[in-house]
Amino acid sequence: MKTVFAFGSRVVPGDSLALEVCKKLRGKTREFDFVECETLDELLAAAAQKGERDLIVLDVVQGLKKTRVIEDLSEFADASPSSMHDFDAGFFLKIAKESGVVERVRVIGLPPSASAEKAAAETKRILKKL
């Protein structure tokens, strides 16, 4: 079973969508487990505990119009971060990959304007293809 690490914050306005999607999809599929993470340290610790080196991260990505998979982490470096969270997530995941802490990172990027229902349906569709 693969793990999807939902990354977000309940404190930062507009950044809890991935956590809401995680709750909606948890237990709905046998192929994926869903773990909520509010810090990057928590995400890497949970991945290490589960023995995951091929990460699937669910996160809100500013500027997206539709849910999509981002495998090239340099896309985050090219984007203008709207908060420290945006900068830290892309930068930190890129360093984790380059340093060998993880082998692969795929981010399922959620548009900030999506409803939890729509984002959950699109995430489920994407996961079937992974």
| pLDDT of 5 over the 60 cut | yes
pLDDT in the model for residue 76: 65
3-state secondary structure of 49: helix
When divided into structural domains, the chain yields a total of: 1
State percent of the chain over pLDDT 90: 55
Q: What is the arithmetic mean of pLDDT over 77-106? A: 70
Whichever domain contains 81, its CATH number is: 3.40.50.1450
Quote the domain boundaries for residue 74: 2-129
User: How many CB atoms within 10 Å of residue 31?
Assistant: 10
What kind and span of H or E run contains 34? strand 32-37
3-state secondary structure of 7: strand
Q: How confident is the model at residue 26 (pLDDT cuts 50, 70, 90)?
A: very high
3-state secondary structure of 77: helix
Q: What is the arithmetic mean of pLDDT over 86-114? A: 83
| pLDDT of 84 over the 50 cut | no
* Beta bridge pairs of residue 82: none
Sequence-separated (6 or more) residues with CB below 8 Å from residue 25: 4, 32, 34, 120, 123, 124
pLDDT in the model for residue 77: 54
